[in-house]
Amino acid sequence: MAHILDVVDQLLDTLKKLQPLKPEDQRRLDKKFRLEFNYNSNHIEGNTLTYGETELLLLFEETIGSHNKREYDEMQAHDVAYHMIEEWAKEPERLLTEQEIKELNEIILVRPYWKEAITPDGQTTRRKIKVGSYKEYPNSVRLQNGEMFEYTSPVDTPIKMQKLIKWHRNEGAGLHPIALATMLHYKFVCIHPFDDGNGRIARLLMNYVLLKSNYPPVIIKSSDKESYLRVLHLADVGEHEPMLDYVAEQVVWSLQTSIKAAKGESLEDADDFIKEIELIKRKASSKGIPKSPKIIYDTFLSVNKKIWGSLIDTLKHFDTLFNETKEVHFVNNLPEYFETTRVSSFDTGMMGLLRGKEVSAEPKKLKIFGYDVYEINTYSIKWEHTMYALRGAEVPTDLEISLDIDFDNLNYKVRLKAGSTVVFETVLRYKEAFLPADIDKMTDALKTHVLEFIKTKVD
């Protein structure tokens, strides 16, 4: 412990000599610690937002991904709590209180909710999780070996928390800031005073102590969760030195990162390149998927099967009211292109050799009504169903039903027409599928219009 603290003190002295940081470097550093702490502390507890999703949420207030709403809410709430301890740490004379710790719990948990729990006799149950108040039921945990680990009982929790605050103000005041931060974290976890959020609050309190002593915040990486839990378990059996060393090593990383920022150097870790790529992908997805030949082809397949198929099924009810019908298709206003392929067969007769057809080794092409999507820039597709000579009409009467898709860079427009009347129109992003309810609206609108058209011509 003594050696690692010497390293910490040397780095802290170096950082002090480089201060104050340039405003732009301070902003880079603050952003780095903010994102790293929020992402990792929540990820340790099971939050599934990626680093890129966390960055989008906290910096741009954009939500991407199919996560539970609570995960987004708690990530934002944790960020509020982080800013709160930063503000507390700026007041040298401020004393930590139980009420402030309860306030942190109320902030990070957002609102009461139901959660799976284990009864004292090991049975599973559901329990309403309250926020901002101490636990009313035991919150023991089952270890990997099957044993139950007992935290402080609900009855003893208020007393233990009072003693923790007293220790922090008195005995803890004489410890090295890293030792004080580590032991406050450990003692708090041993009490586990709340139904949920104890790990996150322990790390917030640890960083409150460090920030108040002018150290940078500690980031416990979720990728290093096993090492983190291991030193906690060693502390449970009285071996506190490994945990003190572990926290000090994380302070070293934070100090080195701060020194890099002060020197104007890059703050990227080895895995930050992957994080940046992920962020770019997420930001790009939030703006939409751009048009490409394969996107056009996939959109065509979906519309042809789901929408046009449903419309034809609807029109079949009216076909018998006309003398004949015809269906044609267009790509870029060009009629369907038919290709004929010569397929030869052979029979070797008495030679007993192979019997079959010539098969081309050329890979299958993606074609829309005969046009290769990689050979033309597809900007429109049209399905056209014409019903000729309405029976019972006084004059020859035809009705043309058409479905058009127009493609632009990020969206495609779907337009259904009966004659010259647009009966349905919508715009979708690529890979945004039509809902069954939308298809029902189209077919209902088509039925209504065609029926009214026929009535006016036959009556």
pLDDT of residue 319: 87
pLDDT of residue 270: 60
Q: What whole-number distance in Å separates Cα of residue 125 and Cα of residue 137?
A: 12
Task: Enter the pTM of the model.
Answer: 0.62
Contact between residue 338 and residue 370 where contact means Cβ atoms under 8 Å apart: yes
**Domain contains 64:** yes
Q: Is the dihedral of CA 112, 117, 119, 123 positive or negative?
A: positive
Confidence of residue 52 (pLDDT cuts 50, 70, 90): confident
**Domain contains 348:** no
Same domain, 327 and 276: no
3-state SS class at 269: coil
Lowest mean pLDDT among 220-224, 263-267, 284-288, 434-438: 284-288
Owner of token pair 């976890």 = 189
**Domain contains 357:** no
Q: What angle do CA 20, 255, 252 make, to 5 degrees?
A: 165
Owner of token pair 């507390």 = 88
pLDDT of residue 86: 97
> Which domain covers residue 399, as residue numbers?
293-339+363-458
Same domain, 169 and 110: yes
pLDDT at 441 over 90: no
Same domain, 275 and 299: no
Same domain, 29 and 80: yes
Same domain, 125 and 49: yes
Mean pLDDT value of segment 161-175: 93
Q: What whole-number distance in Å separates Cα of residue 414 and Cα of residue 427?
A: 6
Contact between residue 219 and residue 253 where contact means Cβ atoms under 8 Å apart: yes
Strand ranges, E, within 6-63: none
Same domain, 272 and 309: no
The C-alpha R_g of the chain, in whole angstroms, comes to: 34
Please say which residue of 266, 287, 308 terminates a domain.
287
Same domain, 219 and 323: no
Number of structural domains, the chain?
Answer: 2
